């Protein structure tokens, strides 16, 4: 289980750096300021949750398959829906607009993961 938390933390963190660099350089003149800010929000949340996964890999009392799944799926739904929503004009894929309602679902999964981690901490009296 520890390895899965580490692996997903590294994968999502590395992808955040790649996608962030792409957004900052290749998309700089393509996205509006509002789209750029939204894109950066997706990057920021992806980085935060990558770091959380790396931290959780060191906390045996907190690791669970449920927590891992909530974080990975939450990041994919939240951050990646933001990326695709902002790139839909550039990609000529206006049909990506169906992703709009998916972003908050990803956010709810991330909130759930944080809540479960907090509950487990209280329950286990982790110091």
pLDDT tens per residue, range 105-122 = 999 999 999 999 999 988
Angle at 123 between CA 120 and CA 127, to 5 degrees: 80
Helices (H), 1-127: 2-25, 33-56, 65-91, 102-124
What percent of the chain clears pLDDT 70, i.e. is strictly above it? 96
Confidence at 127, pLDDT banded by 50, 70, 90: low
Distance CA 112, CA 117 (A): 9
Supply the DSSP symbol for 57.
T
74 within 8 A of 49, measured Cβ to Cβ: yes
Tokens of 120: 């487990």
Tokens of 108: 């709810």
Confidence at 79, pLDDT banded by 50, 70, 90: very high
Distance CA 75, CA 81 (A): 9
């Amino acid at each position: 289980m520890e390895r899965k938390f580490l692996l997903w933390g590294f994968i999502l963190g590395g992808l955040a750096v790649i996608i962030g660099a792409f957004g900052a350089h290749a998309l700089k003149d393509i996205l509006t300021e509002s789209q750029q800010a939204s894109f950066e929000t997706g990057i920021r949340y992806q980085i935060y949750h990558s770091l959380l996964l790396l931290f959780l890999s060191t906390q045996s009392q907190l690791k669970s398959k449920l927590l891992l799944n909530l974080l990975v799926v939450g990041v994919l739904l939240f951050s990646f829906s933001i990326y695709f929503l902002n790139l839909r004009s550039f990609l000529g894929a206006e049909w990506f607009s169906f992703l709009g309602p998916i972003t908050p679902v990803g956010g709810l999964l991330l909130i759930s993961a944080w809540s479960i981690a907090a509950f487990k901490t209280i329950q286990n009296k982790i110091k």
